[in-house]
A = this chain, B = another copy of it.
């Protein structure tokens, strides 16, 4: 039996139309009940506007990947955009490059780097070089940036603390090479090996880069060596324009989310830095696109920081901004998260995420409160996040009939 991917199913039946869809992603929205109150962050927050939209719309719960799976930000967002997050995989190097908003060109190979410490015999003693400061990392990257090895140009850019990213740009580079990072201390960095015949040159360039870095960094203890992993090239994604025949735009203040949006062919708009800025950007650009991905980061950050109350406050801020969105009267509004980030866990989790969808054509349910516990009884039921886009498209009357 041939398995048909979601996108293959949708592409032939999607059609362009003047209707507009807004997908509001409150990052890490789902939570867990506070031990004292028995209420999650979303249930604790005062959210009259979300509750009103829930009353008019239809609610449910989504699984970003599948029950029990805690997703990273990139698979979680790919799923929301309708791309199977298991088959559409983004390599680590590319993800880091995207995360710092580096403009990857076709054929670029990206790798994630660590500054590390090696002893006088060359064995790794600290894979993170004592977590040097981001400023120190930036200085060291400048020493390595711009190298040309075997006609390939290297871009070395800081990420945060000991983390950096290196991009190899040149003809005929292949990414099938092994990591130099041994993922343990007490051993030497590995020699990067070609895993396919086409990758011989890439492996040789990577090894020459490591040798050069060792010389350059010799006097910079504890950051006296580099470890590389996750060599990858920017994968091919059919664009949202191709699949859905949308003109999609992204409003996100964090580079990582802008990068993922770019990968799937969205135009990335100037978003500012605050929630208010983002809603303003939506308003300014509202007439020019028919799909908006609006990303709120601060809920996730608060969850990661185990700050229950701050997460509650951010949700309330979003609720306060919501009437502005509602007043633009998009044909379809979807409010959800990419995954759960319960403050109690201090990190991403596997719990399903509340979703609410409003359109003139949704079949409203009996839910009048946007919360984890109410969404259990929602008319959308519990379903995979990859189905969010087909549902939004259907409600915008942007899908024709499948089969006759």
A window 40-98: CB within 8 A of B: 40, 61, 65-76, 84-87, 89-90, 92, 95
How many copies the complex holds: the figure is: 2
Q: A387 within 8 Å of B by Cβ?
A: yes
The winner among A89, A390, A404 for most chain B CB atoms within 10 A is: A404
Chain B residue at minimum C-beta to C-beta distance from A366: B373
Among A4, A372, A373, A381, the most chain B Cβ lie within 10 Å of the Cβ of A381
Chain B residues near A403 (CB, 8 Å)?
71-72, 74-76, 85, 89-90
Chain A 368-404 near chain B by CB (<8 Å), digits 1 or 0: 0000110011111111000101111111000111111
Q: Are B373 and A61 in contact (CB under 8 A)?
A: no
Decide if A5 touches B1 in the complex (CB within 8 Å). yes
When A and B form their complex, which 7 residue pairs have the shortest distance between CB atoms, in order from nearest? A68-B390, A381-B382, A75-B403, A72-B403, A68-B394, A68-B391, A67-B387
Cα distance A32–B84 when bound, in Å? 30
What per-residue 1/0 map shows which CB atoms of A25-41 lie under 8 Å from chain B? 00000001100000010
Q: A9-B69, A65-B402, A69-B394 are in contact. List 7 more A-B contacts (CB 8 A).
A: A32-B361, A69-B390, A70-B399, A70-B402, A365-B376, A366-B376, A373-B379
29 interchain pairs (CB within 8 A)?
A: A1-B3, A1-B4, A1-B8, A9-B65, A9-B86, A33-B364, A65-B402, A66-B387, A67-B380, A67-B387, A68-B387, A68-B390, A68-B391, A68-B392, A68-B395, A70-B394, A70-B401, A72-B402, A85-B402, A85-B403, A90-B404, A95-B404, A348-B401, A350-B394, A350-B399, A365-B373, A366-B373, A381-B382, A382-B382
A363 CB-CB contact with B under 8 Å: yes
* Residues in chain B near residue A72, CB distance under 8 A: 401-404
Q: Are B391 and A67 in contact (CB under 8 A)?
A: yes
The docked-state distance in angstroms from the alpha carbon of A392 to that of B350 is 11
Least CB separation from A30: chain B residue: B363
In the complex, per-residue mask of A108-120: 1 if CB is within 8 Å of any chain B CB, else 0: 0000000000000
Choice from B5, B381, B390, B395 contacting A381 with Cβ under 8 Å: B381
List, in ascending order, chain B residues with CB within 8 A of A85's CB. Answer: 402-403
Chain B's nearest CB lies how many Å from the CB of A88?
A: 9
- The answer to the question of A351 belonging to the interface, with a C-beta cut-off of 8 Å to chain B, is yes
* Closest residue of B by beta carbon distance from A9: B86
